[in-house]
Chain A
Amino acid sequence: MHELAITASIVELVAEAARGRPVRRVTLEIGKLSGVVPDAIAFCFPEIARGTPAETARLDIKEISGRALCETCGSEFPLVDLLVRCPCGSIRFRPIAGEELNLRSIELEEVS
Chain B
Amino acid sequence: MCATCGCEGDGKTMLFNLQTRQSGEIASVADTHAHEHVHADGTWHSHPRDHAHDHDHYPVRPSGEIDIQARVLAKNDALAAQNRAWFAGREILALNLVSAPGAGKTTLLERTIAAMVGDTPLFVIEGDQATSNDGERIRAAGAPAVQVNTGSGCHLDAEMVRRGLAELRPPPGAVVLIENVGNLVCPALFDLGEHAKVTIFSVTEGEDKPLKYPHMFRASELVLLNKIDLLPHLDFDVATARANVACVNPDSTIIEISALIGEGLPDWLQWIRARAAAAREFAAP
Contact = CB atoms under 8 A, between A and B. Distances in A.
A5 B30 contact: yes
Contact of A5 (B1, B157, B185, B211): B157
A1 interface: yes
Nearest to B33: A12
Interface in A62-112: 81-83, 91-92, 101-111
A103 B72 contact: yes
Given A4-B6, A13-B70, A83 B247 contact: yes
Nearest to B6: A4
Contacts of B30: 5, 8-9, 11-12
A109 B66 CA distance: 11
Given A6-B73, A8-B30, A107 B64 contact: yes
A24 interface: yes
B70 A83 contact: no
Given A13-B70, A35-B188, A47 B65 contact: no
A44 interface: yes
A24 B65 CA distance: 9
A13 B39 CA distance: 8
A106 B190 CA distance: 25
A54 interface: no
Interface string B112-155: 00000000000000000000000000000000000000000111
B250 A92 contact: yes
A35 B213 CA distance: 10
B40 interface: yes
Contacts of A18: 66
A9 B214 contact: no
Contacts of A83: 211, 214, 247-248
A35 B185 CA distance: 8
A90 to B, nearest CB: 9
A33 B60 CA distance: 31
B272 to A, nearest CB: 27
A36 B154 CA distance: 14
A71 to B, nearest CB: 10
B215 to A, nearest CB: 5
Interface stretch (B51-59, B254-262, B277-285): B51-59
Contacts of A110: 64
Q: Which of A5, A19, A36, A82 has the most chain B CB atoms closer than 10 A to its own CB? A: A5
B60 A108 contact: yes
A51 B27 CA distance: 19
Contacts of B71: 101-103
B84 interface: no
27 contacts: A2-B154, A5-B30, A5-B155, A5-B157, A8-B3, A16-B39, A16-B57, A17-B66, A17-B68, A19-B53, A19-B54, A35-B189, A44-B6, A48-B3, A48-B6, A82-B248, A83-B214, A91-B246, A101-B73, A102-B71, A102-B72, A103-B71, A104-B67, A107-B63, A109-B64, A111-B63, A111-B64
Sorted nearest first, the 7 A-B pairs with minimum C-beta distance are A8-B30, A2-B186, A82-B214, A108-B64, A8-B3, A111-B64, A9-B30
Interface of B: 1, 3-6, 28-31, 39-40, 53-54, 56-58, 60, 62-73, 75-76, 153-155, 157, 185-186, 188-190, 211, 214-215, 218, 246-248, 250
